[in-house]
A and B are shown apart, each in its own frame.
Chain A
Amino acid sequence: MEAARSFISTALWFIAAGILFSMPGLAYLAVIPVVVLAVGLLMDSPSEISIERKYPRTSLRVGEETPVRVHLRVGRGFGLVMVRDPLPEQFALVKGSNVRIFFKGPKKLDVEYEYTIKPGKRGRYLLRRSEVVGYHVFGLKPSQWGVYGDDTEVVVLPLISLPKRTRTPVTRSKIPIPLTSVSIRGPSSTDFREIRDYRTGDPVRFINWKASARKGEILVNEFEKEGKKTVLFIIDATGSPVGSSIENPLEYSIQLVSSLAYYFTKRGYNVGLYVMGYGRLIMPSTGSKQLYTMVRTLLELEKLEMSEEDFAHAIGTLRYVLIKYTPLVVYVSNLLPEQLKWLKEGMKQLRSIYRSMKLPMLIFDVSTYSLLDEQVSSLILLEKRGIHTDIFGLGAYPILWDPSREGITSVITRTVRLIR
């Protein structure tokens, strides 16, 4: 619009000078800016815009690249068209550009382009509509601005890593899963357990007709559930943040729990999850559906800075689950000295449930401090060693995991060797 004002004022100055100084030639010079302005005003800013974005996949894993194909059409106008696809800050641009500019000439503009993105963090993300600005070729008219296309939801699943293939160790397992760890849910096996009264929801095929006829009331056969062993994950979502939004203990904990949950589910174990801080419990069960439920819960987890819940409180909440299933407890957290008191308290409660000094409990201490200053990291590691000695003395098995020094595959391989 400034350009238009400049053209008009130049023309008016020529006309005024021509009239004032009685020089018609000067007034005729006004023709130049007036004609440029008239030619410019005959052209519109680019409009009749439409955008179509195509995502080959809307479900990705962390670090997995995906192309985005954009089809832009501009029907009218003359000038520059700038397209910008806003990306969530957790996404990185790998190839191409999400900001492009094109020239709309006399013909219709119809272009297709592609760029590649990579998510850096798990979660559900909304890839917003594209912002398009159509600039007038001479800047004589206001630019055309709008948001086009559709919002697309992309689900980014945590990265699941599998352990390296290892020989089953011949030694006795350091962390045996309790023999009493039986399943009460999940698909039924063919091992007969007992005859009991019919309950609403029992499948008809399980009705024992002969026994029912004898007793005069409906009785059903009950079979042992598949996946006798149970693993209960307790993930700590409390505490102050350490590291970036992508590299922090919670993110690595989620990656670790997802990978271990996948490993155990594939082997027919019952797996359950408790999110400390949120008080969210997923009862132990097995199968792909259970894994999906767990991963979906982990997807939406965010760090809670203010939370009343500690480990002892969590064990109190989980008491009936622990009694019912006697599972192997896998606690994943960033252990700090101030948590030790509650950790000891929680382990004391666990001992009373398991009635044993040696607890079926694995504690992962996810430490990302080596990403910070080296001296600070060394001091924190010293503190952590002290905590680990205390934990070991109390009957649990601590594992320190520093993701910057040890890959997830290695830590999982190390873990599955311990458990049987």
Chain B
Amino acid sequence: MNVRQVLMALRLVLCIPLVFILSNILASVVPLTSYLEGLGVSDPKLLLVVGVAILVAVVILNGESPGWLISLTYFTSMVYLIVASSPLIEVAFPTFYSNITELLENNVTLSTTSAFLYIPVLVIISIIDDYVGDLMEKETLLRGMGLPQDDIKGVVYPSMMVMAAAVLTSVLVFLWAMDYLVGRTIDFGQLYYLVPPVLLLALGISFSMGIFGRSEVVRTLLVIKAKVPVGERYSWEIEGDEVLLVRLTTHGGEVKEKEIRIDTEVKQPPERVVLHVEGPAPKRVHLRKLKESTDNGTRFVMYTNLWPREL
């Protein structure tokens, strides 16, 4: 099995809960089940499970994302839950509330507890499905670049594991939060009131550590990647500080559009970089800053006229 097939199989497994949730929601609609029974279907729920499973399988095996189906199920559960159990609806729209409650009671058998439990499950499915979709896109891109199959496997599978660990952690925290909400908490003795602030502090530290960089810049390396008309060989010289003018001289050979790369150390990151190609086809090229990152005390700044996809 290649990586793409493994990811597709994973998506299918991931969507099993979605099949059950969606078929349960549909089976709870009384007019629909009555209609199916009227058609002579002995077990309408089973038919709905099979129908939804086929729909999901067709979508996934066509290489598409079942995201729209997940979103549809999620919004149905959310709207049903809000309409059926929000105190605000009852207070703000009493007439609408009494009518809709009556309508729902007569036609929908889905409990609000089930609707509430479906939401976190759907959120998790959605997060993992998005990640699998992202990995599938990456896999196509990497395969196109001629990367060895072993390399692709070696990056896709560990990524999946890390994502699974993150989702599992979030599920455990969510379950703990729900227990905390209903009062079933672990006995922390006198310190129980410290739990929410400690949790908030931990989250805050994690965000701040993630957002602020810690590297110190010792030197700046300017990298220019551009597609310009050049011959077989080229040389360049740089003038200026804040606005850098790069003069590119081309020598010999046929002049055609080629991707060139210039690496040079600069005193400070420039505000603007202009590339002036000299030779048989002179051209002035304005470059834009695309990337800037710091590593091992070196700040890398990339200016280009290429699209990010071409890099």
Query: Which of B6-14, B185-193, B249-257 makes up part of the contact surface?
Result: B249-257
Contacts of B35 in A (CB 8 A): none
Q: Which of A136-144, A284-292, A369-377, A412-420 contacts B (4 or more CB under 8 A)?
A: A136-144
Q: Is B223 an interface residue (CB 8 A)?
A: yes
Question: Is the beta-carbon distance between B263 and A138 smaller than 8 angstroms?
Answer: no
A103 lies within 8 A of B174 (CB): no
CB-based nearest A residue for B203: A38
The verdict on A304 contacting chain B, using a C-beta distance below 8 Å, is yes
Q: Tell me which of A44-52, A54-62, A252-260, A389-397 binds B.
A: A44-52
Contacts of B78 on A, CB cut-off 8 Å? 17
B210 lies within 8 A of chain A by Cβ: yes
Q: How large is the interface on A (under 10, 10 to 19, 20 to 34, 35 or more residues)?
A: 35 or more
Interchain CB contact under 8 A, A29 and B169: no
Contact residues in B for A99 (Cβ distance below 8 Å) = 145-147
Q: Contact between A31 and B174 (Cβ–Cβ < 8 Å)?
A: yes
The answer to the question of A78 belonging to the interface, with a C-beta cut-off of 8 Å to chain B, is: yes
Which chain A residue has the least Cβ–Cβ distance from B223? A147
Evaluate contact between B298 and A103: CB separation under 8 angstroms: no
Residue positions of A touching B, CB distance < 8 A: 3, 6, 10, 17, 20-26, 28-29, 31-44, 47-50, 78-80, 86, 89, 96-97, 99-103, 105, 123, 128-129, 137-147, 151, 241, 245, 301-304
Instruction: Tell me whether B178 is interfacial, beta carbon within 8 Å.
Output: yes
- Which range holds the interface residue count of chain B? 35 or more
Selecting from B15-23, B36-44, B45-53, B82-90, the interface stretch reads: B82-90
**Interface-central residue, A32, A33, A102, by most chain B CB under 10 Å:** A32
Contact indicator B159/A137 (Cβ below 8 Å):
yes
Interface pair A31/B173, CB less than 8 Å apart:
yes
**Residue B155 is within 8 A (CB to CB) of chain A in the complex:** yes
Asked if residues A143 and B163 are in contact (CB atoms below 8 Å), the reply is no
Provide a sorted-by-A list of 6 A–B residue pairs whose CB atoms are within 8 angstroms.
A28-B178, A38-B207, A47-B296, A79-B159, A128-B261, A146-B293
Please, how many angstroms separate the alpha-carbon atoms of A24 and B155 in the complex?
Answer: 39
Contact present for A31 and B181 (CB under 8 Å): no
Which A residues are in CB contact (< 8 Å) with B159? 79-80, 103, 137
A303 pairs with B85, CB closer than 8 A: no
By beta carbon, the residue of chain A nearest B159 is A137
Residues of chain B having any CB pair with chain A under 8 Å: 78, 81-82, 85-89, 116, 119-120, 123-124, 127, 130-131, 134, 138, 142, 145-148, 151-152, 154-155, 158-159, 162-163, 165-167, 169-171, 173-174, 177-178, 181, 202-203, 206-207, 209-211, 215, 221, 223, 231-233, 251-254, 258, 261, 263, 291, 293, 295-296, 298, 300, 302
| A101-B152 contact in complex given A29-B174, A32-B171, A48-B295, C-beta closer than 8 Å | yes
Closest CB in chain B relative to A111 CB, distance in Å: 10
Is B296 a contact partner of A101 (Cβ separation < 8 A)? no
Closest to A244 in B: B254
Q: What's the Cα separation between A35 and B163 when bound, in Å?
A: 12
Set B123, B167, B202, B221: member contacting A147, Cβ < 8 A: B221
CB contacts between A and B, total, < 8 Å: 171
Q: How far is the CB of B302 from chain A (nearest CB, A)?
A: 7
Whether B119 lies near A29 (C-beta < 8 A) is yes
- Check A35–B300 contact: CB distance below 8 A: no
In the bound assembly, the distance between CA atoms of A103 and B203 in angstroms comes to 26
- Given A101-B142, A303-B253, also A22-B86 (CB < 8 A): yes
Q: Which of B82, B215, B252, B302 contacts A302 (CB 8 A)?
A: B252
Among A29, A142, A304, contact of B123 (Cβ-Cβ < 8 Å) = A29
A24 close to B181 (CB less than 8 A): yes
A-chain residues with CB within 8 Å of residue B293 when the two chains form the complex: 142-146
**Which of the residues A23, A86, A138 comes within 8 Å of B82, measured between beta carbons?**
A23
Question: Besides A21-B88, A151-B263, 17 other CB < 8 A contacts?
Answer: A6-B130, A23-B82, A28-B174, A31-B173, A36-B167, A38-B207, A41-B210, A42-B206, A48-B296, A80-B155, A80-B159, A101-B152, A103-B154, A128-B261, A138-B162, A141-B210, A245-B232
B78 to chain A, nearest CB (A): 7
* A102 touching B154, Cβ below 8 Å: yes
